[in-house]
Structure 1
Amino acid sequence: MTTNLTTGERVAWYRRRRGMSQEVLAGLVGRTVDWLSKAENNRLELDRLSVIKSLADALDVTLGDLLAEPTLMDWTPDSGTRTVPALRSALMNYRQLTPLLGVTTEGEPTPLDELRDNVAEVWDAYQESRYGFATRRLPLLLADVLIAAQAYEGQERDKAHELMAMTYQGAAMVLTKLGETDLAWIAADRGLAAAQQSGNAVVTGSLFRSVAHCLLSNGRFDAAVQLVGDASDYLRPGLSTAAPDFLSIYGTLFLAGSMAAARADDRSTTGAFLAEADRAARQLGRDANHVWTAFGPTNVAIHRVATSAELGDMQVAVDLGPQIDTSALPTERRTRHNLEVARALSAHNRVDDALAMVLEAERWAPEQVRSHYLARELVLSWVRNQRGRPSRAMADLANRLHVI
Structure 2
Amino acid sequence: MDDVSVGERTARARKLARLTQPQLAMQASVSLSLLRKVEQGSRPASPVFIAAVARVLGVGIADLTGQPYAPEQHDGGAHATIPELRRAIVAFDDETPAVPPTFDELTTTLDRVREGMRRARYSDLTADLPDVIRGLHLLAADQAPGCHREAVHSALAYAYSKAMLFAYQYGYLDLAALAAERCTWSADRSGDRVWTIAAEYNRALILLSSGAYTGGQRIIQRAYSASEDLETTPDLLAVRGALHLRGAILSARALDADTAEAHLREASGIASAVAGISYRNYGTGFRPSNVDIHSVAVPVELSDYTAAVTRAERIRLPSSVAPSRVGHHHIDLSRAWLLHGDHQRALASLEKARAAAPELTRNHPQVHETVRALARSRRGTGSLTRFAKWANIRI
**Which bin holds the TM-score, normalised by the shorter protein?**
over 0.9
2:64: which partner in 1? 66
Classify the secondary structure of the residue corresponding to 1:291.
Answer: coil
Of residues 22-31 and 349-358 in structure 1, the stretch that sits farther from structure 2 once superposed is 22-31
Closer, same or farther in 2 for the Cα pair 1:150/1:270, shift >3 Å? same
Structure 2: how far apart are the matches of 1:27 and 1:130?
42
Contact 2:241 2:286 (8 Å CA) reproduced: yes
Q: Structure 2 residue aligned with 1:253, among 222, 230, 243? A: 243
Structure 2: how far apart are the matches of 1:62 and 1:305?
28
1:121: which partner in 2? 112
Q: How many residues align?
A: 391
Tell me, yes or no, if structure 1 residue 355 matches structure 2 residue 353: no
* Structure 1 residue 209 displacement after superposition: 1.5
1:57: which partner in 2? 55
1:143: which partner in 2? 134
Contact 1:338 1:358 (8 Å CA) reproduced: yes
Tell me, yes or no, if structure 1 residue 182 matches structure 2 residue 174: yes
Contact 1:185 1:214 (8 Å CA) reproduced: yes
* Structure 1 residue 352 displacement after superposition: 1.1
Of residues 73-82 and 125-134 in structure 1, the stretch that sits farther from structure 2 once superposed is 73-82
* Structure 1 residue 164 displacement after superposition: 0.8
Structure 2: how far apart are the matches of 1:272 and 1:303?
12
* Structure 1 residue 202 displacement after superposition: 2.9
Closer, same or farther in 2 for the Cα pair 1:77/1:333, shift >3 Å? closer
Tell me, yes or no, if structure 1 residue 229 matches structure 2 residue 237: no
* Structure 1 residue 135 displacement after superposition: 3.1
1:339: which partner in 2? 331
Computed over aligned residues only, the root mean square deviation of the Cα atoms, in angstroms, reads 2.2
1:100: which partner in 2? none
1:42: which partner in 2? 41
Q: Structure 1 residue aligned with 2:376, among 381, 384, 400? A: 384
Of residues 342-351 and 285-294 in structure 1, the stretch that sits farther from structure 2 once superposed is 285-294
Contact 2:43 2:373 (8 Å CA) reproduced: no
Structure 2: how far apart are the matches of 1:303 and 1:81?
28
Map 1:212-227 onto structure 2 (within 5 A).
212-227=204-219
Superposed CA deviations along residues 344-393 of structure 1, whole A, max 9, x for unmatched, are: 1111221111111111211121101001111111112211333x41x222
* Structure 1 residue 155 displacement after superposition: 1.5
Equivalent position amino acid for 2:153 in 1: H
Superposed CA deviations along residues 27-46 of structure 1, whole A, max 9, x for unmatched, are: 22345544432321123343
Closer, same or farther in 2 for the Cα pair 1:251/1:395, shift >3 Å? same
Closer, same or farther in 2 for the Cα pair 1:292/1:23, shift >3 Å? closer
Question: What is the TM-score normalised by the length of structure 1?
Answer: 0.90
Unaligned runs of 5+ in 1: 97-102
Q: Structure 2 residue aligned with 1:309, among 300, 308, 311? A: 300
Structure 2: how far apart are the matches of 1:348 and 1:80?
34
Tell me, yes or no, if structure 1 residue 265 matches structure 2 residue 264: no
Closer, same or farther in 2 for the Cα pair 1:341/1:141, shift >3 Å? same
Classify the secondary structure of the residue corresponding to 1:110.
Answer: coil
Structure 1: how far apart are the matches of 2:66 and 2:166?
17
2:7: which partner in 1? 8
Closer, same or farther in 2 for the Cα pair 1:272/1:396, shift >3 Å? same
Contact 1:251 1:280 (8 Å CA) reproduced: yes
Contact 2:161 2:183 (8 Å CA) reproduced: yes
Of residues 357-366 and 318-327 in structure 1, the stretch that sits farther from structure 2 once superposed is 318-327
Structure 2: how far apart are the matches of 1:27 and 1:189?
34
Contact 1:287 1:294 (8 Å CA) reproduced: no
Structure 1: how far apart are the matches of 2:375 and 2:161?
37
* Structure 1 residue 115 displacement after superposition: 1.9
Contact 1:50 1:265 (8 Å CA) reproduced: no
Contact 1:339 1:361 (8 Å CA) reproduced: yes
Classify the secondary structure of the residue corresponding to 1:238.
Answer: coil
Contact 2:71 2:79 (8 Å CA) reproduced: no
Equivalent position amino acid for 2:66 in 1: A
Tell me, yes or no, if structure 1 residue 277 matches structure 2 residue 293: no
1:160: which partner in 2? 152
Equivalent position amino acid for 2:338 in 1: S
Contact 1:73 1:83 (8 Å CA) reproduced: no
Contact 1:129 1:332 (8 Å CA) reproduced: yes
Closer, same or farther in 2 for the Cα pair 1:253/1:13, shift >3 Å? same
Contact 2:368 2:393 (8 Å CA) reproduced: yes
